[in-house]
Amino acid sequence: MILIGPPGAGKGTQAARLVDKLHIPHISSGDMLRAAVKEGTAMGVAADGYMKAGKLVPDDVVIGMILERIAKPDAANGFMLDGFPRTIPQAEALQAAMTSAGYAIDRVLLIEVPDGLLVDRGVGRRNDPVTGTIYHLTFNPPPADIVGRLVHRKDDTAEAINERLHYYSSWTAPTIRFYQDLGILRRVDGVGTPDEVTARITTALAS
């Protein structure tokens, strides 16, 4: 399946839960690319060449890495793809490559959260550089004794978040219609506690 949604919708949290629940690997496009380069796979070597030249990795190379990754034993019972596709051409190319290789996408999960709440989630987020824990000033307040060391990342400002949301709306959101037309899109309300969202995802996957 493919997991999509705007930045800050909680995809990472839900992906970790789905990995435990469904026993399938979470394949983040960024993590996959770094792993392929490190392992020296055919596609990893190709991608490394583009990156060292300061160029974007072409879609066909990324799709080749996806096919390499899902052929591994831990993906024999399925996989969850996150971070790709981001555009209609990527979605079309991935669909064609999957079909040609004998794979099929069964479900595309769309986690939906209003833009205003996404901004609130991001602006209030704080990182603990010592433990790596992520807190939120409202939804998950940090202990008082560590507040002074917390970091507010530059990309967690309202301006930066709105820019990412604009990119998502312009480029990634149109893929929703693509998968809706294929009949495999399932919409999930991402507002609420992680447990509530997980329950909705479980229902959506069963439908």
Catalytic residue ranges: 11, 86, 125, 153, 164
Q: How far apart are CA 27 and CA 70, in angstroms?
A: 9
Using CA atoms, how far residue 179 sits from 2, 101, 108, 185, in Å, is: 10, 19, 7, 5
Other C-beta atoms within 10 Å of 177: how many?
12
Instruction: List, in order, residues 6 or more apart from 106 with CB less than 8 Å away.
Output: 1, 78, 184
E strand or H helix that includes residue 196: helix 194-206
Q: How far apart are CA 85 and CA 38, in angstroms?
A: 22
Residue from 22, 35, 5 nearest 114 by CA: 5
Report CA 71 to chain centroid distance, whole Å: 20
Using CA atoms, how far residue 35 sits from 20, 28, 32, 78, in Å, is: 21, 10, 5, 19
Burial of 4 (0-12, 13-18, 19+ CB in 10 A): buried
